[in-house]
């Protein structure tokens, strides 16, 4: 009986590790999506600002 309990506990621990890895993967994907969205939204304006500064420095 104790052996069955130990095996079940071992199986449940393995499943939790797999679920944790999936949760971290989803979290990393969401963070990456936010970073990509922010860069896409601000990128063009930032490029314009850098070009303005470059123009002012070269004249």
Domain count along the chain: 1
What pLDDT score does 17 carry? Answer: 59
Hey, what are 21's tokens? 């890895």
**Domain ranges, residue 43:** 26-59
- Tens digits of residue pLDDT in 17-53: 566 778 888 999 999 999 999 989 898 898 899 999 9
What is the DSSP secondary-structure string of 4-54?
HHHHHHHHHHHHHHHHHHHHHHHHHHHHHHHHHHHHHHHHHHHHHHHHHHH
Residue 18 falls inside a structural domain: no
Task: Flag whether 3 is in a domain.
Answer: no
Going by C-beta distance under 8 Å and a sequence separation of 6 or more, which residues neighbour residue 39? none
Please indicate, yes or no, if residue 10 is contained in any of the structural domains. no
Q: Is position 30 within any domain?
A: yes
Higher pLDDT: 33 or 1? It is 33
């Amino acid at each position: 009986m104790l052996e069955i309990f130990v095996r079940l506990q071992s199986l449940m621990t393995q499943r939790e590790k797999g679920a944790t890895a999936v949760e971290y993967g989803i979290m990393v994907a969401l963070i990456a999506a936010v970073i990509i969205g922010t860069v896409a939204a601000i990128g063009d304006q930032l490029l314009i600002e850098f070009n303005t500064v470059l123009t002012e420095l070269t004249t």
